[in-house]
Amino acid sequence: MLELMTYLEANGFTNFIVSGGDIDFMRAWATETYGIPSHRIVGSTVEAEYDNTDGKASVIRLPGVVLADRGDGKPIGIYRHIGKKPIFAAGNSDGDLEMLHYTDANAHPSLKLYVHHTDETREWAYDRDSPIGELNKGLDEAMAKNWTIANMKKRWNTVFSFEK
């Protein structure tokens, strides 16, 4: 995926990370890991308030979710943070299906990609009946709509750079 993101950037694309994870958590590590600036990371957000006690300005996280950035929350997060429909989106679970629907609804040609985690030896395998990362509805829809499915076990020579 890093190679794909590098290729896209080199060819004029602007990459974003759109994760179901907490936006503050994602920004803490994903910027360095993926080379994506923090303002291009979209994630779940919690309630917050501004505080200026004793002249020390800060933002305090509060209980309560503003946006759960998975399922139908992903297109909302994209709309709020990016402001336009993607022309390329990649996902790896049913939590990404609505994001791929949103991409598919673009007036411009678009690419919808599911990364199918099938390599239990080099990475992790999850599919229809997995306890984590379920890919069920998304896999069916991708096949029915002829979206791209990248089967890790069959198609990826290298999963992690340290394998080379």
Q: Is residue 147's pLDDT more than 70?
A: yes
Please give the full DSSP string across 112-158, using - where no structure is assigned.
EEEEE-B-TTTS-B--TT-SSS--SHHHHHHHHHT-EEEEHHHH-S-
Taking only the tens place, the pLDDT of each residue in 91-143 is: 999 999 999 999 999 999 999 999 998 888 888 877 777 777 789 999 999 99
Q: Is residue 13's pLDDT more than 80?
A: yes
Q: Whole-model pTM above 0.85? A: yes
Q: What is the mean pLDDT of residues 78-91?
A: 96
pLDDT at 64: 95
CB 16 within 8 A of CB 27: no
Q: What is the mean pLDDT of residues 37-46?
A: 96
